[in-house]
A and B are shown apart, each in its own frame.
Chain A
Amino acid sequence: MSRSILYTSSPLLASRTPVWRSKFIVAALALAFLGLGARATYIQVVSNDFFQRQGQVRFARTLEMPASRGRVLDRNGLILASSVQALSIWAIPEDVERDPPRLQELARLLEMPLSELNKKLEDEDKTFVWLKRQVDEPVAKQIESLKLKGIHQRKEYKRQYPEGEAAAHVVGFTNVEDKGQEGVELAFDKTLAGKPGSRRVIKDRLGSVVESVGETVPPVDGQDLQLSIDSKVQFFAYQKLREAVRVNKAMSGSIVVLDIQSGEVLALANYPSYEPGKRKHLSGAQLRNRALTDTFEPGSTMKPFIAALALEKGLVRPDTQIQTAPGSLTISGSTISDAHPQGLLTVNEIIQKSSNVGTVKLAMQIQPREMWEMYSLVGFGQKPQLPFPGAVSGRLRPHKSWRPIEQATMSYGYGLSASLFQLAQAYSVFARDGQLVPVTLLKAESPVGGMRVLQARHAQSVRNMLHLAAGPGGTAPKAQTMGYSVGGKTGTAHKQEGRGYASKKYRGFFVGLAPVEQPRIVVAVMIDEPTAGRYYGGDVAAPVFSETVQQSLRLLGIQPDMAVKPQIVARSVEESF
Chain B
Amino acid sequence: MSRLNFMLLMAVLASALYLVSVQYESRRLFADIDKALNEERRLEAERERLLVERRAQARPFRVEQLAKERLHMRPASPAITVYVSEPGAEGAR
A contact residues vs B (CB 8 Å cutoff): 68, 78-79, 82-85, 137, 160, 162-164, 166, 201, 204, 208-212, 231-232, 235-236, 239, 482-484, 550-551, 554, 559-560, 564-568
Contact = CB atoms under 8 A, between A and B. Distances in A.
B52 A79 contact: yes
Interface string B61-93: 100000000000001111110110100000000
A242 B49 CA distance: 30
A164 B31 CA distance: 42
Given A160-B56, A208-B35, A84 B79 contact: no
Contacts of A559: 83, 85
A85 B45 contact: yes
A564 B31 contact: no
Contacts of B49: 84-85, 137
Contacts of B82: 566, 568
A244 B75 CA distance: 19
Contacts of B76: 554
Contacts of A568: 79-80, 82
Given A209-B34, A564-B78, 13 more contacts: A85-B45, A85-B49, A164-B59, A204-B27, A209-B31, A212-B30, A235-B60, A235-B61, A239-B61, A482-B77, A482-B78, A483-B79, A567-B80
15 contacts: A82-B48, A84-B45, A84-B48, A85-B48, A163-B59, A166-B60, A209-B30, A210-B30, A239-B61, A483-B77, A550-B77, A554-B77, A560-B78, A565-B79, A567-B80
Nearest to A553: B78
A87 to B, nearest CB: 11
Contacts of B28: 210
B78 A483 contact: yes
B92 to A, nearest CB: 13
B77 A160 contact: no
A78 B55 CA distance: 8
Contacts of A567: 79-80
B77 A211 contact: no
Nearest to B76: A554
B51 interface: yes
Interface string B37-53: 00000000100110110
User: Main SS of chain A's interface residues?
Assistant: mixed
B61 A166 contact: yes
Contact of A566 (B52, B56, B75, B79): B79
B65 to A, nearest CB: 11
B47 to A, nearest CB: 10
B39 to A, nearest CB: 13
Contacts of B48: 68, 82-85
B34 A208 contact: yes
Nearest to A551: B75
Given A166-B61, A551-B75, A560 B31 contact: no
B24 to A, nearest CB: 9
Contacts of B31: 204, 208-210
Contacts of B30: 209-212
A211 B32 CA distance: 11
A560 B77 CA distance: 10
A99 to B, nearest CB: 31
B60 A231 contact: yes
B9 to A, nearest CB: 25
Contacts of B77: 482-483, 550, 554
Contacts of B83: 559-560
Nearest to A155: B45
A97 to B, nearest CB: 30
* 5 nearest CB pairs, A to B: A483-B78, A210-B27, A162-B56, A235-B60, A85-B45
Contacts of A79: 51-52, 55
A68 B59 CA distance: 24
Contacts of A565: 79
A239 B68 CA distance: 15
A212 B26 CA distance: 12
Contacts of A484: 78
Contacts of A210: 27-28, 30-31
Given A84-B45, A204-B27, A235-B61, A160 B52 contact: yes
A231 B59 CA distance: 9
Nearest to B82: A568
A81 to B, nearest CB: 9
A241 B60 CA distance: 15
A85 B48 CA distance: 9
Contacts of A550: 77
Contacts of A163: 59
A488 B68 CA distance: 31
Nearest to B75: A551
B20 to A, nearest CB: 14
A562 to B, nearest CB: 8
Nearest to A483: B78
Contacts of B56: 160, 162
A101 B56 CA distance: 36
B71 to A, nearest CB: 18
Contacts of B27: 204, 210-211
